[in-house]
Amino acid sequence: IKPYIGGGFGNKQEVLYEPLNAFLTMQVGGRPVKIELSREETFSCTRTRHAIKFKLKTAVRPDGRLVARKFEAWSNQGGYASHGHAIVANASNAYRHLYQDEKVLDADAYTVYTNLPSGGAMRGYGIPQVDFAMEAHMDDIARGLGLDPVELREKNCMKPGYVDPGTGITCYSSGLLACIEKGKAHIHWDEKRAAYRGQTGPVRRGVGMALFSYKTGVYPISLETASARLILNQDGSAQLQMGATEIGQGADTVFTQMAAETTGIRLEDIHIVTVQDTDVAPFDTGAYASRQTYVSGMAVKKTAEKFKARILDYAAYLKKRPADTMDLRDSAVVDAHTGEKLVELADLAMEAFYSLDRSVHITAEETYHCKDNTFSFGCCFAEVEVDIPLGKVKVLDIINVHDSGVLINPQLAEAQVHGGMSMGLGYALGEQLRFDDRGRPLNGNLLDYKLPTARDTPELNVGFVETIDPSGPYGNKSLGEPPAIPPAPAIRNAVLDATGVAVDSLPLNPQKLVEQFTAAGLIQ
């Protein structure tokens, strides 16, 4: 029975403690058993994000066109398989997708087992790691060739119509170039790149950027399927039942909007059942891979279309006229051409339930077996101030601009991006789990593990470029994981612009930066 739960960000994908709870419950005669981890146990005994080491080599023409690339990656899996090789394999996919080589890409990925806590699914599923390496590498190339980093990316990035040769995943829509222009305008890219050139002194400023692409769901690697059910109540309202899980991202709100949009029933008359029981709820494979609005949303749409057709079929019986001459709008059956109200849905529902002549309990249920996938895109632009002697990076301005197709709920979409950007800031500037020589965490608590607080967080700016993706139920595509991907490389590239020092690992904490600035001769 699904309760209200918080965000999992991948950590709830695996069944780890539930079987142990079930076993212990059986040992005490069926009484409830609660397993509670200490904060330190949470750090050492649950899943972490994989640390991945990359080695990248690129052949590039003087004008910036990528000719060939070699990619090698080593993923630290820890002691147990969890999602295993899938993470670093997904990273190599993203390296292939975002930029296309003129000739060839050679990629090798390895998973290494160690005596550290096990890596598992984590928001972005290997893409934040590879995006940092890839986008840092692109800035290094641009710097070596004397090209604007934006120009280099625009010349090589994925364009609409691209088809992955291995999986067949197709780029049906792309607003990436428009996202870049929006980000450039916000950060005043050209002006600040010129203004910050040739700085001296202990405190310097710079601007940087990074792109990303991200798939929507897991097809064709794994099964994508979802179901939904709609039930008409006596008062003309409807129950929406889903196996899909609300974990704080606003899924229930969006599914309700979809049902209302497609049926013509008022939003306030659609009641989604959040606390579902898997014994009676339709099936859904889960909240992961930024899939629910795309896959489960299509199940809602198919169900809503069938539900509306059945309501209009009953209206045809009541009004003695063809169903295709009527429509359902604002919870009333109306003439499809004139909009004249023919019968309130509440009255139709009451008649359908209790008619002595034709009693019909109107329901609909549909399954959507998704056999498609597409790419969402976006970018991050950041302006930073670097205090070189202190190794301190202050983010002055930052914006994420996303192409996630049609936005079903713009407010929820913006909130989703705010959360991802905050996660990206921690990934960039402070978060690092340290270990002793026996593999035991040294900072497995919230005092020594440096999460950003409200005081560390700058104003988070968000922009969208809406495209219509034909593979999505309403032209929409993924948004859940992408916001966490590009902030770290954008900040790294801004530090490079400010100081000329290319830092190739995360986090960009003071200790590391002071060491690198000293080695570069910026600190005597």
DSSP of 247-269, one letter per residue?
A: SSSSHHHHHHHHHHHHH---GGG
200: pLDDT strictly greater than 90: yes
DSSP string, 33-53: ------HHHHHHHS-BPPEEE
Residue with tokens 């005596």: 115
Q: What percent of the chain has pLDDT over 70?
A: 100
Structure-block tokens of residue 292: 């629910």
Residue 232 and residue 352 in contact, taking contact as beta carbons nearer than 8 Å: yes
Residue 354: CB partners within 8 Å, gap ≥ 6?
Answer: none
276: pLDDT strictly greater than 90: no
pTM, full prediction: 0.96
Of 1-10, 73-82, 290-299, 508-517, the range with the lowest mean pLDDT is 1-10
How many CB atoms are closer than 10 A to CB 145? 15
pLDDT of residue 196: 97
Domain ranges of the chain: 139-216+374-519, 225-369
Task: Return the higher-pLDDT residue of 278 and 230.
Answer: 230
Average pLDDT, the chain: 96
pLDDT of residue 152: 98
Residue 150 and residue 209 in contact, taking contact as beta carbons nearer than 8 Å: yes
pLDDT band at 441 (very low <50, low <70, confident <90, very high): very high
Averaged pLDDT for residues 150-173: 96
Residue 474 three-state SS: coil
Question: What is the CATH number assigned to the segment(s) 139-216+374-519?
Answer: 3.30.365.10
Alpha-carbon gap, residue 167 to 230, rounded angstroms: 34
pLDDT of residue 12: 81
pLDDT of residue 8: 81
* Buried/exposed code over 238-264 (b: 16+ C-beta within 10 A; e: otherwise): bebbbbbbbbebbbbbbbbbbbbbbbb
Give φ, ψ of 358 to 5 degrees. -150, 90
Q: Does an H or E element contain 138, and which?
A: helix 127-145
pLDDT band at 154 (very low <50, low <70, confident <90, very high): very high
What's the Cα-to-Cα distance from 423 to each of 122, 186, 193, 290, 431, rounded to whole Å?
A: 11, 21, 27, 16, 10
pLDDT band at 255 (very low <50, low <70, confident <90, very high): very high
Alpha-carbon gap, residue 227 to 245, rounded angstroms: 12
Structure-block tokens of residue 417: 């991006």
pLDDT of residue 299: 98
**Architecture of the domain spanning 225-369:** 2-Layer Sandwich (3.30)
Are 139-216+374-519 and 225-369 the same fold in CATH? yes
Alpha-carbon gap, residue 468 to 209, rounded angstroms: 25
Residue 400: closest CA among 117, 183, 177? 183
pLDDT tens, residue by residue, 451-474: 999 999 999 999 999 999 999 999
Residue 147 three-state SS: coil
Alpha-carbon gap, residue 253 to 409, rounded angstroms: 9
pLDDT of residue 11: 83
Q: Does an H or E element contain 133, and which?
A: helix 127-145
Alpha-carbon gap, residue 78 to 50, rounded angstroms: 8
Residue 432: CB partners within 8 Å, gap ≥ 6?
Answer: 443, 449, 450, 506, 507, 509
Residue 404: closest CA among 483, 297, 460, 302? 483
236: pLDDT strictly greater than 90: yes
Structure-block tokens of residue 309: 């057709």
pLDDT tens, residue by residue, 302-359: 999 999 999 999 999 999 999 999 999 999 999 999 999 999 999 999 999 999 999 9
Q: How many CA atoms lie within 13 A of 376 on its CB side?
A: 34
Alpha-carbon gap, residue 377 to 234, rounded angstroms: 44
Averaged pLDDT for residues 32-57: 94
Sheet containing strand 392-403, edge to edge, reads 203-215, 375-387, 392-403, 460-464
248: pLDDT strictly greater than 90: no
How many CB atoms are closer than 10 A to CB 33? 14
pLDDT of residue 413: 97
Residue 269: CB partners within 8 Å, gap ≥ 6?
Answer: 236, 237, 238, 260, 331, 345
Residue 272: closest CA among 261, 259, 284, 285? 259
pLDDT band at 6 (very low <50, low <70, confident <90, very high): confident
DSSP string, 395-407: EEEEEEEEE-BS-
Structure-block tokens of residue 192: 């600040």
pLDDT of residue 4: 78
pLDDT of residue 17: 84
pLDDT of residue 383: 98
Alpha-carbon gap, residue 368 to 135, rounded angstroms: 36
Residue 237: closest CA among 106, 348, 159? 348
DSSP string, 166-227: TT--B-----HHHHHHHHHHHHTHHHHHHHTTT--SSEEEEEEEEEEEEESS-TTTS--EEE
Alpha-carbon gap, residue 487 to 427, rounded angstroms: 9
Residue 49: CB partners within 8 Å, gap ≥ 6?
Answer: 119, 122, 128, 129
